[in-house]
Amino acid sequence: MNSVLISLTARQLLGRRRTLVIGLLLALPILIAVIYRFSEEAGSGDATEEVALGLVSVMIFTLLLPLVALVFGTASLGAEIEDGTAVFLLTKPIERWRIVAIKVGVASVAAALLVVPVTMATTWIVHESPTADGLMAGLGLGALVASVLYCAAFVALSAVTSRALIFGLIYVFVWETFATRIFDSLRWVSIREYAYGWSDAIISINDNGSFYDPHLGVTTAIIGTMVVLAAACAGGTRALTRFEIGERT
């Protein structure tokens, strides 16, 4: 039963156009990293660190990673609901939590498999000594955590509403990018900050200006991670249990 759910979800996710578009988007940071590496600015120690962190955090953590997770997370359950195939799954005697858990799992693995290597590759290309200060591993871990958390949140969101994508985008671009910059305390409720908290456990740079400054300690990040996962699974299960067919708002 689990294997059927997994393979159905995976085949649904990795469909034609979607994978192509995401692949192209994810090639952008690598492309820019390569251009930078061969331009004359590269070389001076401090600059590379700032550029590496800037590129990874701006292009990947604030733009591409949430987007990839958003697309996979909403596609894994939301697209099935929109297409009607969710009815096929929901008219089977399967516990709803199992459906949610598998949708989250498959989406997370797919997103992480794409995003983590791109994050590490970008760091590796831009930075002189990428393994120093645990930079590459730390950012990779952060990308992994962010993939899982965003996917979990967006799978749950797409069980609740057919507008999961737009609400997810508003959360990412208005809340995490915009509001947390103005009101510092909002960072307590930010998946990106939880991910940075995990990165910080490995990375031993304390101060790097505006691009990379984790605000939460590791403990807070772990608690935040647990809360997001638990809330997403509980909320998604509840919404699927009460799933009603027809035009949703």
Partner 1 sequence: MANLGEAPQSRGVVYDLGYRNYDGPRLGRRYAIRSLYVLSLRNTFGLGRGTLPKVLAFGLALIALLPAIFTVAFGALAGEDFELVEHHEYFGFIGIVIVLFVAAMASDLVGNDRRNNTLPLYFSRPIERDDYLLAKIAALATALMSLTLVPQLLVFVGNWLGATDGTEWLGDNISDIWRIGASSTLASVQLAVIGLAIAMFTTRRAFALTSVLAALWFSVVFTGVLVAVLGPGWAAVAMLATPGYAMNATTYVIFDAVPARADRLGEMADQVAYADLPGWTWIVALVAQTAVALFFAIRRYRKVTL
Partner 2 sequence: MAVNDISFELEPGITGLLGPNGAGKSTLLHMMAGLLEPSSGEVLVNGEPSWKNATMYSNIGLVPEREVTYPFLSAWEYALASARLHQLPQPEVAAQAAIDMVELGDAMHRKMSGYSKGMRQRAKIAAALVHDPDILILDEPFNGTDPRQRLQMNTMLKELGDSGRTIVFSSHILEDVEDLAEDVLVVIGGRLGAAGNFRQIRRLMTSRPHAFTIRSSDNRALAAALVDRPHVALVSFDSDAMEVQTTDFGAFTETIAPLVQSSGVALHELQPADDSLENVFAYLVAR
Q: Are the C-beta atoms of 136 and 123 separated by less than 8 Å?
A: yes
Nearer to partner 2, 1 or 35 (CB): 1
Task: Decide if residue 249 touches partner 2 (CB under 8 A).
Answer: no
The site partner of 119 among partner 2, partner 1, none (C-beta below 5 to 8 Å per kind) is none
Chosen from partner 2, partner 1, none, partner binding at 231 (C-beta under 5 to 8 Å by type): none
Query: Does residue 143 interact with partner 1 by CB under 8 A?
Result: no
Stretch that binds partner 2, among 92-100, 124-132, 198-206, 210-218 (CB under 8 A): 92-100
Is 56 a residue that touches partner 1 (CB under 8 A)?
A: no
One residue of 33, 69, 75, 86 binding partner 1 per CB under 8 A: 75
User: Do residues 198 and 218 make contact, with C-beta atoms less than 8 angstroms apart?
Assistant: yes
Burial of 186 (0-12, 13-18, 19+ CB in 10 A): middle
Question: Which token pair is 24?
Answer: 């192209």
Ramachandran region, residue 105 (left: φ > 0; alpha: ψ -120 to 50; beta: rest) = alpha
Query: Could you tell me if residue 161 is left (phi over 0), alpha (psi between -120 and 50 degrees) or otherwise beta?
Result: beta
Q: How far is residue 106's CA from residue 113's CA, in Å, rounded to a whole number?
A: 11
Q: Is 163 in the site for partner 1 (CB under 8 A)?
A: yes
Q: Which residues bind partner 1 (CB under 8 A)?
A: 17, 21, 28, 32, 35-36, 39, 63, 67, 71, 74-75, 78-79, 82, 161-163, 165-167, 169-170, 173-174, 177-178, 247, 249
